[in-house]
Each structure stands twice: as structure tokens, then as C-alpha cells.
């Protein structure tokens, strides 16, 4: 066993061994859970040897030559990445990230043979509405830490007590602190079934779900399955692109006839996005996640550089221009370090392969017109595309909320946690009211 493998083994023992854990599940199933349904308290405790190994690998990086262009069109720029990595290897403190996670109630339960890690924070408000929030790639539960306060205690963040949520934030199987599936078959549909089982085990008889990035397809599949208790979903990367627009984009044909001015602008933006190589990471992980994984799992700098190709980071300034603007340098490194320490770059990438190339923005790929549960959408202006309301209403027959906000991008909860929480309050208000009326 290599030193890194040994460290990771120790990491797994220290986090999954109940002897080091404290806390209880605040809402459990009405019947006594079977042993296989046990919910175990969880605490992160990374061995120092693993952190020392990370710093050693960073220091030993063999750097490429400088890019030949003055922008990011060839990938992360050498000087900016070197500055980030220099801080990662010398000034960054993982223990602060670890403390943030351990300050929250965390749990693990085994579903379909895989340990599912999740954060569960309950509101002090009696009639709080449970919300299940799903992250994407290269994100993690870290994205949503800033939203927990505004969601569980809205009165302290511009809302009212009646707007409160209980918050459940799981790690997708193969990501971060969840277990890694050892067999194929863990696409968005399977994850959605696991989420339904998780909420059942927690005893929730009614709840809503939210997702962006991979969280959007997973939440969409959850709505399609319509498990008992699910009232509706909120998306910030909805699959609204109509079939004829998709066909034109794929074939390189002119835009379809009859597009409005706004629709044409979105069509042109999508075409530019596709031609710029912005989705190259998607193609690589979809085709050969295992091949990509050998380098991602071996070099922390290579992993970070690849993750920074994601268009969600296109306008990120590496914390240079405003050290307080979220996500901050430390917040991004919290996320990257989590992938590194849990050795999940490869297993996380397999979700793309399992998805068999379905574009998360295409309505036909996700059969959105078949959904019957209520759907709410928020459009953040700096996301990879800005779906017109006309496309959204065509894609989702039971669209109950559509709002374009004035700031925020792909990592909306990370970038604008207060606004993100306010959008969930507004989006789910009709479902909260109808649910209380029916009780």
C-alpha cells in the first residue's frame, strides 16, 4: 500500500467509525429502522499525513510552459494557477474547512450498498418545509454552507418565520464524503431513487427538492419518479432548449424560424458556447472518465487546472480582485481539497459516463414535458445559458415560478447565498401554502 493509500484508508476509518462521532438524527422514520437502514453520525478527521502528502505533491509539480494567448482559451493561465497553488501548498488551512463541516450535523446511511453522506440542519421553526439540495461537478456540499442560515432561520435574513426550511444536503454517490459505487448503473435516475429513500428514512412525509448542475437532472428525475411526499422542485439549470433548437445547434444549421429576439440571442449564445470549447470537460468525462482519472487522482495541480476549465469558473478572479467575493480563494480550495483527500475525482467523473451524453439543458433529453409535479426556475444571469421564459413554459407544463435575477452565475448558492435562499423561499411559497391547507 502506498503512503497516500494508507492515509486515505486512515481517513476512511476516522470518518466512518462511530467511536469518533457525536450527535443524533433529528427526524427519523416512524418505525424502528432495520440495521441496514441505520443512520450513523459522521465526523471528518483527516490524518495529518494526508495533508503532508498533498503539500509534498504540490511542491513537486512539474509545470508546463506558459500559454501562448493572453486569455483562458487554452485553459487555466500559468501565472494565476501558480499563485493559487503556491497558496494552496503553504498558506491554505484544511482544518478550517474541516471545522466548518464538523460544526454541522452530518450523517451517513447505506443505500443500495453505498454509504451516503449528508448534512441535515433542522430549523427551530415548527412548520419548516424540508428541502433536499443537490450539488454538481466540480462542486460539493461546501457550495451550500452559506445558504443554511438563511434557509433555516429566515427571520434573521430578511424573511419571516413562515419561510423556514429544514435543510438536507447529501453528497452524490462517488463524490466527496459519500461512498464510491463499485459497479455501473449509478446515473441520475439511480441517484434520484436513492434520494427518495434517504428522505423516507429521515421520516419526511412532505418535502421539496432543489438542484443546479448535476443537481438539476437528478432533481428532474426525482420529480419524474414522484415519490410519496415530494411536492415539487426548483432548478437553476433547467432543461428548456427545444428539440428544433437542439437539432440546429448539433448540426450547425441556421436558427429555426420564428425565434423571438430573446430566443435568438440565447440560440446564438449557445452556439458560441459550443464552438468555444467550453464543454470540453463534459466530452472528456463522458467518453473516458477512467482515463482522465489517472492524472486527476495523481496530481493535485492537474486536478485543480482541469476543474477550473468548468465554465462556472470563467469569471472567477482567483480571489485576486476582491478577497471577500464568493466563492473566495479558500472556499474554492476547500472544494478542491475535498475531492483530493477523498480520492473521488475519477468516481465523480463517472456520473458523466453514466449519463450517456445527455445534455442537461435539452428538454427532449430529459423528457421534461412528461413531468406533472410543480417546477420552479430561477435564472442567474452569469450561468452558462439564460433560458427564456417562453422555452421554460414549453418545457415544463406545470411551471409555477419563473424569475430572472440580476446577479449570480452557475454556482449560484456559492456566489449569492442570500439571494439563492430568497429565491427558494419565493419559489416554494405556493407549495408550502397548498401543503399546509391540505393537512
> What string of DSSP letters covers 289-350?
HHHHHHHHTT-HHHHHHHHTTSGGGTT--TTSS-TTSSSPHHHHHHHHHHHHHHT-HHHHHH
Residues 292-309, mean pLDDT to the nearest whole number = 97
pLDDT of 439: 56
H or E stretch covering 220 = helix 215-225
pLDDT of 36: 83
Model pTM score? 0.91
Residues 382-396, mean pLDDT to the nearest whole number = 96
Residue (of 149, 57, 68, 41) closest to 336 by Cα position = 57
pLDDT of 4: 36
pLDDT of 31: 37
pLDDT of 323: 73
* Higher-scoring residue by pLDDT: 49, 9: 49
pLDDT of 271: 96
Tell me which fold the domain 3-60+77-241+279-438 belongs to.
Rossmann fold (3.40.50)
H or E stretch covering 89 = helix 78-90
pLDDT of 136: 97
Which of 175, 204, 352, 396 is an active site residue? 352
Q: Residue 200, exposed/middle/buried by CB under 10 A (0-12, 13-18, 19+)?
A: middle
pLDDT of 74: 95
Cis peptide bond prior to 414, omega within 30° of 0: no
- pLDDT tier, 349 (very low <50, low <70, confident <90, very high otherwise): very high
- pLDDT tier, 35 (very low <50, low <70, confident <90, very high otherwise): low
pLDDT digit string (tens) for 157-184?
Answer: 989 999 999 999 999 999 999 999 999 9
- pLDDT tier, 8 (very low <50, low <70, confident <90, very high otherwise): very low
Instruction: Return the axis-axis angle of helices 329-342 and 345-354, rounded to nearest 10°.
Output: 90
Residues 231-249, mean pLDDT to the nearest whole number = 98
Q: In this model, does residue 19 exceed pLDDT 90?
A: no
How far apart are the C-alpha atoms of 62 and 224, rounded to whole Å?
47
Q: In this model, does residue 374 exceed pLDDT 70?
A: yes
- Strands 165-170 and 207-211, how do they pair? unpaired
Flag the least confident range among 291-295, 385-389, 434-438: 434-438
Distance of CA 96 to the CA centre of its chain: 21
3-class SS at 187?
coil
Flag the least confident range among 130-144, 281-295, 321-335: 321-335
Residues 269-288, mean pLDDT to the nearest whole number = 94
- pLDDT tier, 321 (very low <50, low <70, confident <90, very high otherwise): low
Distances (CA, A) of 115 to 8, 85, 214, 297, 394: 16, 32, 19, 21, 38
How far apart are the C-alpha atoms of 408 and 172, rounded to whole Å?
23
Distance between start and end Cα atoms, the chain: 57
* Higher-scoring residue by pLDDT: 96, 435: 96
Residues 131-146, mean pLDDT to the nearest whole number = 98
Flag the least confident range among 60-69, 102-111, 387-396, 426-435: 426-435
Which of 53, 115, 166, 213 is an active site residue? 213
- Average pLDDT in the chain: 91
- pLDDT tier, 325 (very low <50, low <70, confident <90, very high otherwise): confident
Tell me which DSSP letter residue 129 carries.
E
Is 352 designated active site? yes
Q: In this model, does residue 18 exceed pLDDT 50?
A: no
Q: In this model, does residue 229 exceed pLDDT 70?
A: yes
Query: 21 phi and psi, to 5 degrees?
Result: -110, 155
Amino acid at each position: 500500500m502506498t503512503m497516500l493509500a494508507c492515509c486515505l484508508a486512515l481517513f476512511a476509518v476516522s470518518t466512518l467509525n462511530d467511536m469518533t462521532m457525536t450527535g443524533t438524527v433529528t427526524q427519523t422514520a416512524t418505525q424502528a429502522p432495520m440495521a441496514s437502514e441505520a443512520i450513523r453520525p459522521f465526523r471528518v478527521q483527516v490524518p495529518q499525513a494526508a495533508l503532508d502528502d498533498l503539500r509534498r505533491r504540490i511542491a513537486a509539480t512539474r509545470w508546463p510552459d506558459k500559454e501562448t494567448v493572453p486569455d483562458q482559451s487554452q485553459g487555466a493561465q500559468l501565472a494565476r494557477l501558480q499563485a493559487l497553488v503556491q497558496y494552496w501548498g503553504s498558506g491554505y488551512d484544511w482544518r478550517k474547512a474541516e471545522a466548518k463541516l464538523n460544526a454541522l450535523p452530518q450523517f451517513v446511511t447505506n443505500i443500495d450498498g453505498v454509504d451516503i453522506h449528508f448534512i441535515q440542519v433542522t430549523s427551530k421553526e415548527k412548520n419548516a418545509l424540508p428541502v433536499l439540495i443537490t450539488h454538481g461537478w466540480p462542486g460539493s456540499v461546501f457550495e451550500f454552507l452559506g445558504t443554511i442560515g438563511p434557509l433555516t432561520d429566515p427571520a434573521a435574513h430578511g424573511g419571516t418565520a413562515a419561510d423556514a426550511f429544514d435543510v438536507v444536503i447529501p453528497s452524490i454517490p462517488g463524490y466527496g464524503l459519500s461512498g464510491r459505487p463499485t459497479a455501473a448503473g449509478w446515473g441520475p435516475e439511480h441517484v434520484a431513487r436513492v434520494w427518495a429513500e434517504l428522505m423516507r428514512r429521515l421520516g419526511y412525509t412532505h418535502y421539496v427538492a432543489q438542484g443546479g448542475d448535476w443537481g438539476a437532472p437528478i432533481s428532474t428525475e426525482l420529480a419524474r419518479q414522484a415519490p410519496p411526499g415530494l411536492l415539487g422542485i426548483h432548478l437553476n439549470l433547467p432543461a428548456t432548449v427545444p428539440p428544433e433548437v437542439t437539432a440546429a445547434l448539433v448540426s450547425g444549421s441556421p436558427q429555426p424560424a420564428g425565434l423571438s429576439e430573446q430566443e435568438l440571442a440565447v440560440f446564438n449564445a449557445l452556439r458560441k458556447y459550443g464552438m468555444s470549447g467550453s464543454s470540453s470537460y463534459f466530452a472528456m468525462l463522458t467518453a473516458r472518465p477512467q482515463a482522465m482519472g489517472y492524472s486527476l487522482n495523481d496530481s493535485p495541480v492537474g486536478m485543480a487546472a482541469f476543474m477550473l476549465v468548468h465554465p462556472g469558473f470563467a469569471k472567477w478572479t482567483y480571489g485576486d480582485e476582491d478577497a471577500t467575493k464568493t466563492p473566495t480563494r479558500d472556499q474554492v480550495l476547500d472544494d478542491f481539497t475535498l475531492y483530493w483527500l477523498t480520492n473521488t475525482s475519477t468516481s465523480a467523473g463517472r456520473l458523466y459516463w453514466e449519463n450517456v451524453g445527455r445534455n442537461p439543458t435539452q428538454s427532449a433529453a430529459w423528457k421534461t414535458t412528461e413531468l406533472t409535479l410543480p417546477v420552479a426556475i430561477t435564472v442567474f444571469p452569469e450561468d452558462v445559458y439564460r433560458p427564456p421564459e417562453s422555452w421554460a413554459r414549453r418545457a415544463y407544463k406545470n411551471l409555477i415560478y419563473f424569475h430572472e435575477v440580476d446577479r449570480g452565475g452557475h454556482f449560484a448558492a456559492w456566489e449569492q447565498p442570500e439571494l439563492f435562499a430568497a429565491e427558494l423561499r419565493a419559489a416554494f411559497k405556493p407549495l408550502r401554502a397548498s401543503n399546509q391547507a391540505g393537512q
